[in-house]
A and B are shown apart, each in its own frame.
Chain A
């Protein structure tokens, strides 16, 4: 069975939607496209899925999109300090600043 979920472009990034859809790749296949002010996700479920299952999975999917959004914020903010820490981890010189 197929279902469509719309995400407001102003609020959600396509990256977050793609990453969320990837996590559900064992439960549905998704085709993502633009539809006016929204991103459209066409979700295709295997025939044997019950209505209850589908509702639950779609709910989880929507939550996952929000989680991916949060992950994007974290990544953006922390990429720099992550690289700094890794540089320290692998450097031969000392770790402490006055070195």
Chain B
């Protein structure tokens, strides 16, 4: 797991406020372009005029203004990455050019309180995150294939959320967007219409539905009335031809009706662009609710196959994420995705001798640490 944030040892560090910097290793930038860049020092070269200088313990001492010595685990940073650096020397890498899935957290506020939430909600004003995302858009390389927006619940920003999408379209016309949202704000059809009017060429809203039983869905997300509003939101979005993905996290509270839920999707929401069936992550609330949530994926693999069969026979594009190959049936392989964000995934000892290791997504770091299947077995 990559360490995305840390604290550097500051040397002559003078910064008036937290700022976003594009990182660079290029010592030959025109003088006029150096002030908003942070230079990654690799040798003894540290040309003048850069906004900040990032060094590592292994590097010889150089004397410059705004030098920050970072822990070795952060030496992955590279050209075109974007980081927020604060006057106290805290650094947070918010964009990595090499990453295939850069995601921006827009808020920790949420109107759900999911039992398995990996980003537990906090009810405070964190609109600076939205402002920062808007600012970062100017710095993100134009050839970026896609970025993600998550929360909390991003649409709680209302029109500001729409402005963000519109600005993303304008500033990054070749970049696709993935948004994670519960979709409820779109139950207001005028909001859905305004969203549609932005006419983004490739924005996918990933919306969870955890059961065809409204009581069960509302229980998982801990919000009464959530199911009806989420479905209404999806219907509105589709009325305006917007791209929607349905996400189902599989755990003890969603497994019993997983097949029926997929049948519900097939009969009522067949027009969705994609369905994601996802394994449980051990972060956030999951550990606190483990007794209610944990079921060994090996125990539910046949149900997973049946659920997938429903979606496949209706011709709905479906992917299975966040499972290890040894805990699912072979019949799901066509839909299996070697997922897990590149900064989160790992393998266990048993995997060392597995011949399918490079086809397998491995584990969340959190899963490896706290709980994973008892049936991990190398393929030979």
Contacts and interface: CB of A to CB of B under 8 A. Distances in A.
Interface in B169-206: 187-189
Nearest to A95: B235
A99 to B, nearest CB: 6
Contacts of A98: 187-189
B305 interface: no
Contacts of B189: 94, 96, 98-99
Contacts, number: 12
Contacts of A95: 235
Interface residues of B, number: 7
B142 interface: no
B132 to A, nearest CB: 33
A95 B239 CA distance: 10
State the main secondary structure of chain A at its contact with B: loop
A42 B334 CA distance: 65
B236 interface: yes
B373 interface: no
A94 B232 CA distance: 12
A19 to B, nearest CB: 31
Interface in A62-99: 94-96, 98-99
A73 B18 CA distance: 70
Interface centre among A94, A95, A96, A98 (most CB of B within 10 A): A96
Nearest to A94: B189
A95 B192 CA distance: 14
B275 to A, nearest CB: 23
Interface string A32-70: 000000000000000000000000000000000000000
Nearest to B235: A96
A98 B235 CA distance: 13
A44 B188 CA distance: 62
Contacts of B232: 96
Interface of A: 94-96, 98-99
Given A95-B235, A96-B236, A98-B188, 9 more contacts: A94-B189, A94-B239, A96-B187, A96-B189, A96-B232, A96-B235, A98-B187, A98-B189, A99-B189
Interface of B: 187-189, 232, 235-236, 239
- List 10 tightest A-B contacts by C-beta distance, closest first: A96-B189, A96-B232, A99-B189, A98-B189, A96-B236, A94-B189, A98-B188, A96-B235, A94-B239, A96-B187
